[in-house]
A = this chain, B = another copy of it.
Amino acid sequence: MTLKVYADRMSQPSRAVIIFCKLNGIEFEEVRIDLSKRQQLTPAFREINPLGKVPAIVDGRFKLFESHSILIYLASVFPGVADHWYPADVFRRAKIQSVLDWHHGTLRRGAAGYVLNSCLAPALGLPLNPVAAAEAEKILSASLSKIESVWLKGKGRFLLGSTQPSIADLSLVCEIMQLELLDEKDRERILGPYERVLKWIEDTKNVTRPHFDEVHLILFKVKEKLKKLRPENGTMAAMTMSSFAPQSKI
């Protein structure tokens, strides 16, 4: 029975799981749960994940959600996954777990909060919220600063000074990639001060190509749509959710 991955490529944790499967030769069926159509809230999907969120997986009779748990599970049960993604060594594993735990209340909260409230909200039928965006930007910048000064300290190119990427690199870089949706000046303003972060993003992309780029294509398509809808183009108010089914043409 093939592994099923329920995902929307507009969700960063969905992208991390899909890229991980592709990188490691894990055979899977991608089942799209269209967030712009609120398909994550349907009774059928709630049978898979009662919390109504993507990604989720079904592996035989086993159902699982929360992307870090999924990545750890896949690394543990599929024999072809290289050790560096989630090392058997208990000390290295603990450190990776530590980064993943840190991610939730910091980078994820800041990046998702900023992108949603500063540019993506209209695509989901919500108003932009400059106050919430400013609050999220503080969390985002503080998080990037910690990645630069704490997690990327060391000799290797990847988190925790490693010479090869782990599931933490994949998860965090996918998180940061959503900043591609921003206006370029805005993205530069936020990411520009963090040279090590920028280099690490490029290094992570380089070792995960072509899958990384292919799975992120959706972001650049949506970015083009968002550009046309910015207030300076005078069309923001006309936006509707149905005009924004981002993956329907892929």
Contact call A101/B64, Cβ cutoff below 8 A: no
* B-contacting residues, A73-109, CB 8 Å: 73, 76-77, 90-91, 93-95, 97-98, 100-102, 104-105, 108-109
A42 within 8 A of B: no
Q: What CA separation (Å) do A108 and B102 show in the bound complex?
A: 13
A96 CB, min distance to chain B CBs, angstroms: 9
Residue among B76, B93, B105, B149 making CB contact with A90, cutoff 8 Å? B76
Known: A90-B76, A90-B77, A97-B72. A51 touches B105 (CB 8 A): no
A206 within 8 A of B: no
A101 CB, min distance to chain B CBs, angstroms: 4
Contact call A66/B98, Cβ cutoff below 8 A: yes
Q: What CA separation (Å) do A149 and B64 show in the bound complex?
A: 17
- Interface secondary structure of A, over-half rule: helix
Known: A66-B102, A102-B51, A150-B51. A94 touches B72 (CB 8 A): yes
Contact call A64/B98, Cβ cutoff below 8 A: yes
Residues of B within 8 A of A104 (CB): 101, 104-105
A69 within 8 A of B: yes
Residue among B50, B66, B90, B105 making CB contact with A109, cutoff 8 Å? B105
A32 within 8 A of B: no
The count of identical subunits is 2
Contact call B50/A150, Cβ cutoff below 8 A: yes
Residues of B within 8 A of A146 (CB): 51
A62 CB, min distance to chain B CBs, angstroms: 6
With both beta carbons as reference points, the residue of chain B lying nearest to A112 in the complex is identified as: B105
Contact call B50/A149, Cβ cutoff below 8 A: yes
Contact call A101/B68, Cβ cutoff below 8 A: yes
Residues of B within 8 A of A51 (CB): 102, 146, 150
Q: What CA separation (Å) do A65 and B64 show in the bound complex?
A: 26
Residues of B within 8 A of A65 (CB): 98
A131 CB, min distance to chain B CBs, angstroms: 11
Residues of B within 8 A of A150 (CB): 50-51
Q: What CA separation (Å) do A133 and B65 show in the bound complex?
A: 29
Most buried by B among A64, A97, A108, A149: A97
With both beta carbons as reference points, the residue of chain B lying nearest to A46 in the complex is identified as: B150
Known: A51-B146, A91-B62. A97 touches B69 (CB 8 A): yes
Chain A interface (Cβ within 8 Å of chain B)? 50-51, 62, 64-69, 72-73, 76-77, 90-91, 93-95, 97-98, 100-102, 104-105, 108-109, 146, 149-150
